[in-house]
Amino acid sequence: MSTTHSHSGGCHCGAVRYRVELDLSQPVIQCNCSICARTGTLLAFAPESSFTLEKGEQNLTDYQFNKQVIHHLFCKTCGIRSFARGTSPNGPMVAINTRCLDEVDVTRLNIQHVDGKSR
């Protein structure tokens, strides 16, 4: 049974703010690839239609590497990477850094370790 809820989040300085519908009862991903390991992200995924960027589009900088299929967006003021955009088999998706969600205690999330380093 899905327990999808609306969550707000954003960067450290507040220039980037968004709202997203997520089911945080599902595992979040802790990946060991070169970028996730360095930034410490805990990722939850949502269809693009469940994501609304409320402010800060002009404050986002895009970083791509490797196959250049994921847009690793970060705030150009504070440098925080609160979400990324990409495509899943089901269409456009957003990868949410759950550490950047307001009032979410990440120590209570079900963390699934993924070996992205070996892919």
Q: Where are the domains of the chain?
A: 5-114
Question: pLDDT averaged over the chain?
Answer: 92
CATH number attached to the domain at 5-114: 2.170.150.70
Closest by Cα among 85, 109, 112 to 98? 109
Task: Return the higher-pLDDT residue of 115 and 7.
Answer: 7
* pLDDT value for 94: 97
pTM, entire model: 0.91
pLDDT digits (tens, 9 = 90+) for 73-95: 999 999 999 999 998 888 899 99
Q: Are 118 and 32 in contact (CB under 8 A)?
A: no
* pLDDT value for 64: 79
| Residues near 58 by beta carbon (within 8 Å), at least 6 away in sequence | none
* pLDDT value for 18: 98
